[in-house]
Structure formats: structure tokens, C-alpha cells
Amino acid sequence: MKILVAEYAVGSRDKRRAALLQEGRAMLTTLKRSFERTGNEVVFPVGESDFEAAVERLSRDSDAGLVIAPDDMLLPLTELIESNTINLGCPSECVRICVDKLTTTEILGRAGIPVPRILSYADGEHVIKPRYGCGAEGVFIRNDASGEPPGEGFIITEYIKGESLSSSLIVGSSGILPLTVNKQFIRRDNDGKLFYTGGRVPHYVDSAIRKKILNISRQVVTALGGTAAGYIGIDFVCREGDGTPYVVDVNPRPTTSIIGIARVLNYELADLILRAKFGSLPCESDINAGGCFIFNI
């Protein structure tokens, strides 16, 4: 098969996303090598002045495609892929929900999944983040209501103090396959701004907490109404004290954790993505991670 990997940071000339270039290149390289090891040809745009036009052109000549892009670009690019070829990632219906952090939080909350409360005003320690954002981009922790209030396009949530983790899943018609639980390295500067700086894959946590994370991950997929498919990364904060996992973000696309997953998993990542779309996934008991991979961004 000829597979398009449309990675936005490498594929465009968008200087606003320059900070994402390093991890974007690493994700693109990881997927390219994995698809090639499974006997597929990979095409991808590089440094395009009109990224969407390049995706349009390449997707028309590809058997399948996969998008990696910031949340504000992910939906239109996914719809473009779907109009021209087979989408190996989450369908646009799922992307439309997940890129909106307010809508996602409300849906998960109604399903009984632990999520930070959405606040109508800043009171005590709280989090300010873009309603549409990528990773920790534009996320701040504030201790009080001082400073400028967030503008339109931002939401305020309660602050959950604890350990930042994530889960990586592959979702297909044959079921939900958890891959790994991962550690996220998050740095906080003096102004309260958060920066994602890398991770550890997998991250070995208490077995009871791991079980909770994976159970909640399955519940998240179910709460999305059957629209989720392909690779999904779910970000958690495990609350200090009791270890309760709170879902803070749902990423309907490959995440930076794939850099480590591709190195430690006993299955080829590309094979799992293709099996999710065209076949059946292996049993969870067949999935093993040999060793641990640490990466820094």
C-alpha cells in the first residue's frame, strides 16, 4: 500500500508551530519506518507553503492516510483525507468532539468518568487552557484570580495535583487494545506555564492504578459513542493521595508516546494500525513491552 503520513509540523512552513518541529519529525520518522518495515510505501509533505493543497494532492494518489496535526488543524485535514482515501486515524466525527476540550470534558463527565470540573471563574488554584489546543501548548496553572482573565477560546478547570500519565490505545472494529501506560514529563515555569518535555514508555505504576487507567481508557472510547478508531492517546493526572486517574485530554491521533512504543512493543505499531482498520487486533494478553524507553523533547 501507498500510505500518506500527513504530519503538520514537518509538512508545513507554519512558524507558529516551530516548537513542535522536533517531536513532529520524531513521530513522522517513527511511523514511516514502521509502515516501511511492514512492506508499505510512505509519502509525506515537507515544508509546503500550502499544506492542505499538498495533502489534497498526495491523498488522491494514496491507498490510505493518517494525519498528525494540532487540534485546530486536525478536523479539516481529517475530512480532507476521508474525502480522497481511507483514513487510518480517528474518523472526523470523533475528531470533532475530542479537539474541543470543553465538549470532551462535558461528555466524559456525564458518563461518570473522572474529569476536572469546569469552572465559571478563577477561584483558588486552577488551570487555564485553550479550548482547542495541542499537548501543554498555552496551558497555565494559576494560584488565584490575579492577572488578566482568559480570553475567548480558553477554559478554566480545577487543578488536580498529581502525576501526569497517559495511556496509548489502538481501537478497531474487533475491540479496544491497550498498549502502554506512559509517564509525561511536564515542566512548570515561574509564570505557571506548562511545557511538555518528553516521557517514559512504558511507565510502571501500581497495578491497581494501572488497572484503573486502562478501565477508564475503555470507558472513554465507549463514551465517544463508537466513533473512536485507530491510535488514541489519553492524558491523565493521577490525583495525589488516592491515585484517582482524572482524564485531562483525549488525543484522536498519534501522540509523542509512539516514539517509545515503537521501540519497546513486541508488535509493529504500523501493523496494529492497519489491523485496526482492515482486520482484527491481537489479544491484550499478547501485547508486551520489552524494556523502557525515555525520550526528551
Same domain, 180 and 257: yes
Same domain, 172 and 272: yes
CA 81/CA 59 separation, integer angstroms: 6
Which of the residue ranges 101-105, 124-128, 233-237, 276-280 would you say has the lowest mean pLDDT?
Answer: 124-128
Same domain, 175 and 252: yes
Same domain, 246 and 274: yes
Same domain, 14 and 123: no
Instruction: Judge whether 41 lies within some domain.
Output: yes
Task: Render pLDDT for 87-128 as a digit per residue (tens, 0 to 9).
Answer: 999 999 999 999 999 999 999 999 999 999 999 877 788 999
CA 67/CA 52 separation, integer angstroms: 11
Same domain, 153 and 83: no
First to last CA, the chain: 31
Structural domain range at position 153: 118-158
**3-state SS string for 73-137:** HHHHHHHHHHHHCEECCCCHHHHHHHCCHHHHHHHHHHCCCCCCCEECCCCCCEEEEECCCCCCC
Instruction: Judge whether 37 lies within some domain.
Output: yes
Task: Render pLDDT for 46-69 as a digit per residue (tens, 0 to 9).
Answer: 999 999 999 999 999 999 999 999
CA 260/CA 27 separation, integer angstroms: 10
Same domain, 81 and 108: no
Number of domains in the chain: 3
Question: What's the pTM value of the predicted model, to 2 decimals?
Answer: 0.95
